[in-house]
Amino acid sequence: QKEVEQNSGPLSVPEGAIASLNCTYSDRVSQSFFWYRQYSGKSPELIMSIYSNGDKEDGRFTAQLNKASQYVSLLIRDSQPSDSATYLCAVNLVNNNDMRFGAGTRLTVKP
Amino acid sequence: EAQVTQNPRYLITVTGKKLTVTCSQNMNHEYMSWYRQDPGLGLRQIYYSMNVEVTDKGDVPEGYKVSRKEKRNFPLILESPSPNQTSLYFCASSLFGRLNYGYTFGSGTRLTVV
């Protein structure tokens, strides 16, 4: 089982819709969770971090964490074509003191 | 500007010719790491360093070397590159022990080995 799993997509949503991206992780003691956005050929850019159960909102982005289900998600409201990118879920594994990444979900927002 | 600088951005080389990819950060971060990114496999860690003169293997260290003689620099060395090392490489840094702040990534190096 992979440590961090994401649906590879592609996920396609119309402009203005809500995009929902999901991620599961295997290490129960993971403490920190991140979403990175990566445009094609570019480096990952941190867009959200979340550390406790519940929701965290930042502008059009909402991260949701459920540690009991080992599940973290990212909602993008009012999706824009500029949101079209690959979204990487990352988890800080306490035991290894490093970051593990999912393979990413490719999102396309159609005008 | 706080940043991680990688060079070169693009590199085409031949099998067996030693090369070095440089990485430098200006944020006084203790923790630095190298990743490679391949389609369908995501980001895989090659080596990481928790501080000067402290380095350790990641998930895919074979064929790579690193050094950390100064806090700001963490070069990646391929002593004898092979075609299976063709990939997109990223250097990343973070404050040690505070990975909950996430990584800052360099702009990437696209390496092709022919």
Averaged confidence pLDDT in chain B? 93
Q: What is the pLDDT of residue A62?
A: 98
- Per residue in B36-55, pLDDT tens? 999 888 899 999 998 899 99
The answer on pLDDT for B84 being more than 90 is yes
Residues 6+ apart with CB under 8 A from B111: B11, B12, B13, B19, B21, B81, B85, B86, B87, B88, B89
Interatomic CA distance for residues A92 and B99, integer angstroms: 7
Which of A2, A33, A43, A47 is the best mutation test for B, with the most CBs of B within 10 A?
A: A43
Q: Which of B63, B22, B27, B23 is nearest to B44 (CA)?
A: B63
| CA-based nearest distance A54→chain B, Å | 17
Q: Does A98 touch chain B (CB under 8 A)?
A: yes
Report residue A92 as tokens: 């800080």
Residue B100: band (very low, low, confident or very high) from pLDDT cuts 50, 70, 90:
low
Using CA coordinates, name the residue in chain B closest to A106. Answer: B40
Contacts of B90 in chain A (CB under 8 A): 43-44
| CA-based nearest distance A92→chain B, Å | 7
Q: Does A45 touch chain B (CB under 8 A)?
A: yes
B102 contacts A49? CB cut-off 8 A: yes
Instruction: Give me the tens of pLDDT residue by residue for chain A, a chain 111 residues long.
Output: 678 999 878 999 999 999 999 999 987 777 889 999 999 989 999 999 998 899 999 999 999 999 999 999 999 999 999 999 999 999 987 655 678 899 999 999 999
Q: What is the pLDDT of residue A71?
A: 94
What type of residue sits at position B23?
C
CA dihedral A101, A105, A109, B3 (to 10 degrees): 20
Q: What is the pLDDT of residue B97?
A: 62
B40 contacts A101? CB cut-off 8 A: no
Q: What is the pLDDT of residue B98?
A: 55
Residue B11: band (very low, low, confident or very high) from pLDDT cuts 50, 70, 90:
very high
A97 contacts B99? CB cut-off 8 A: yes
The answer on pLDDT for B13 being more than 80 is yes
- The DSSP line for A10-60 is -EEEETTSPEEEEEEES-TT--EEEEEEE-TTS--EEEEEE-SSEEEEETT
Which of A50, A89, A101 is the best mutation test for B, with the most CBs of B within 10 A?
A: A101
Mean pLDDT of B89-93: 96
Q: Which of A90, A42, A39 is nearest to B109 (CA)?
A: A42
Contacts of A95 in chain B (CB under 8 A): none
Instruction: Give all strands (DSSP E) within B1-102, no chain letters.
Output: 4-7, 10-13, 19-25, 31-38, 42-51, 54-57, 65-66, 76-78, 87-94
Task: Give the closest of A43, A88, A97 to B108, CB-based.
Answer: A43
- Cβ–Cβ under 8 Å, residues B61 and B46: yes
| CA-based nearest distance A77→chain B, Å | 23
| CA-based nearest distance A49→chain B, Å | 8
Beta strands B4-7 and A85-93 are: unpaired
Report residue B22 as tokens: 């440089």
